[in-house]
Amino acid sequence: MPDNRPNYYSILGVEDYASADTIRNAYRSLAKKFHPDTCQISDKRQAEEQFTLINEAYDVLSDPDMKKDFDEYLFNKQINMINQSKVRTINSTIYPSNHRTASNSTVNNYTPKSYSTSSNTDNSGYNSSSSNTGRTSYGNLSFDEVSHYYSELKSKFDYKADSNLADRVSIIVKIAAAVLFLVIIIFIGLTFDNKSKDISQEQSNTAAAAENKKPEQEDPLKNFVTIGKSKQQVKAILGKPSGVGENVWKYGSSMIFFDTINQVKGWDNTGRNLKVFVYKKEDGAPPIRLGSTKLDVKKAMGTPSFLNLNLWKYGSSEIYFNEDGKVKKIVNRDGNLKVQF
């Protein structure tokens, strides 16, 4: 590539050596601004030229290899400019401005000469001492003074270069230390979080194991015949029946009724030898009346001695229910029903 390449970073309006994201964002903005179809600039030719230059800059800086090559070129160019600046500074020091007069002045026409020990004044009128034998004088500055000043100036430039390098190295070290510190913090946090999860999981497992070890609470109705229990459960509670009919088991003068899937649907505990249960009587329950629900009846009277779908008996007293499960008729023969008419 030619050495007179433009500064593509300047064309895109970004700092030298900018990042890929910065370059991409700048390109999109400028491409939209100078695109021939959308730009608001009156001089379309100038817009097209600028648009072409923007695309050229982006083509170079968006390609990693081409960007690397251009960065090296730009860096070398900047170094050369710095070196030229050093030379100009040294020249201006060697030939101070108060000695740079018109072209016909003594200084401009002056050519350094060697001095012998026999003369303290040369033909141009500049003084020199006998100690400067064989040395050259530059204006009012001796060779030693110029050499000394050049050495100091060079050391200053070198110091600045070294300082810039040291600053960059220091910044890189600080960034690396910060990143390392952040990584350590994240690692510690993740480790602590994992340990916390492990402890929490262990505690949960321990609690679950302890819960499993707790003795199962015994079913209070385990030893009672209730609605829905199977024939096997009835036999386990009451033993072998004294008589077996179609969907009926007899235990003396008492009976257990089963439905078509062999589950208890009712009973007749006339002999009072059946262990049956529906509900525990509540002392403060309101009395039964027409329209009361089956739950109201159970709370007021407890478990009936006779239970079938729509007829419950307590002794010889009877309670009839309609299809909605509400009381439709009460026959209180024994006077043992808690009723209110």
Q: By percentage, how much of the chain surpasses pLDDT 70?
A: 74
The range of the structural domain enclosing residue 83 comes to: 1-93
Domain annotation covers residue 241: yes
The residues near 226 (Cβ < 8 Å, ≥ 6 apart) are 264, 276, 277, 278
Give the pLDDT of residue 23: 96
Domain annotation covers residue 85: yes
- Grouping H, G, I as helix, E, B as strand and the rest as coil, residue 325 is coil
Give the pLDDT of residue 277: 93
Whether residues 246 and 179 fall in one domain = no
Residue pair 335/314 in contact (Cβ under 8 Å)? The answer is: no
Task: Spell out, as residue ranges, where the chain has pLDDT lower than 70.
Answer: 1-3, 86-87, 89-150, 152-164, 211, 213-217
Long-range CB contact pairs, 86-95, < 8 A, 24+? 86/153, 86/154, 86/157, 89/153, 90/150, 90/153, 93/149, 93/150, 93/153, 94/138, 94/139, 94/141, 94/146, 94/149, 94/150, 95/138, 95/139
Where does a domain end: 63, 93, 123?
A: 93
Domain annotation covers residue 200: no
Give the pLDDT of residue 130: 40
- Grouping H, G, I as helix, E, B as strand and the rest as coil, residue 266 is strand
Whether residues 16 and 85 fall in one domain = yes
Q: Report the CATH number that the domain containing residue 33 is assigned in CATH.
A: 1.10.287.110
Domain annotation covers residue 103: no
Please give the torsion angle defined by the CA atoms of residues 29, 35, 39 and 44, in that order, rounded to the nearest 10 degrees: 140
Whether residues 244 and 303 fall in one domain = yes
Domain annotation covers residue 110: no
Give the pLDDT of residue 60: 95
Tens digits of residue pLDDT in 190-203: 887 777 777 878 88
The pTM score is 0.38
Give the pLDDT of residue 90: 62
Whether residues 7 and 76 fall in one domain = yes
- The total number of structural domains in the chain stands at 3
Give the pLDDT of residue 107: 37
Tens digits of residue pLDDT in 116-154: 333 444 443 434 344 444 444 444 455 566 566 567 666
In Å, how far are 240, 289, 297, 308, 321 from 294, measured between CA atoms? Answer: 31, 11, 5, 12, 8
